[in-house]
Chains A and B, each alone.
Chain A
């Protein structure tokens, strides 16, 4: 079967750096994605890692270690608008399986 584990909640202050970890167990792994979802909205794509290492996109970075079945999303210079739920997701052959999500609260 497949499983993804990520913390349920994280709280940080504006301007800080926060790391959201994700560990996974899966058969058939093509890559790890991250999505952001604001309350009441649809998930939006943030990043994707197919190979080990760090991918940087502006204030957001994502890391993958395939040997450890582990990845993380790093958010820098936190802003109030970053308050949302963040999901890691494993990409398989034709589908994508999501973790339960991490609710990030950014405080002033």
Chain B
């Protein structure tokens, strides 16, 4: 069966520090991968998605970036965090052509 792993669960980082969040999927090949951000009490904002290694689509201008160095690995990064980067970051995957997204357990990021 397929599983998605996301870590860390919580993170407190100072303004201006770098960020690296990792997401991996097991039990499948060539998944579509997604990064979403959710502000407290709000909906999910699509940040990045990837349909293959090295293929990244960015949805909103921001100081975040994403990379997909391996088929089942998706990384969200920042060189310098802003206060506005605080939120709940969720990684998700789906098989190409399917409609049900499976989410990781999320990372709650607080920038102080």
- Output the residue of B32, B44, B57 with the most chain A CB within 10 A: B44
Closest chain-A Cβ to B60's Cβ sits at a distance in Å of 12
Closest chain-A Cβ to B63's Cβ sits at a distance in Å of 21
Bound-state CA distance A48–B34 (Å) is: 18
- Output the residue of B42, B51, B99 with the most chain A CB within 10 A: B99
Bound-state CA distance A94–B36 (Å) is: 14
- In this complex, how many residues of chain A approach chain B with their Cβ under 8 Å: the count is 22
| Given A94-B57, A95-B46, A98-B44, A33 contacting B99 (CB threshold 8 A) | yes
Evaluate contact between B99 and A91: CB separation under 8 angstroms: yes
A44: contacting residue among B32, B49, B99, B103, CB under 8 A: B103
| Given A44-B103, A48-B100, A95 contacting B43 (CB threshold 8 A) | no
Cβ contacts A90-103/B at 8 Å (1 or 0 each): 01001111111100
- Output the residue of B43, B45, B46, B105 with the most chain A CB within 10 A: B43
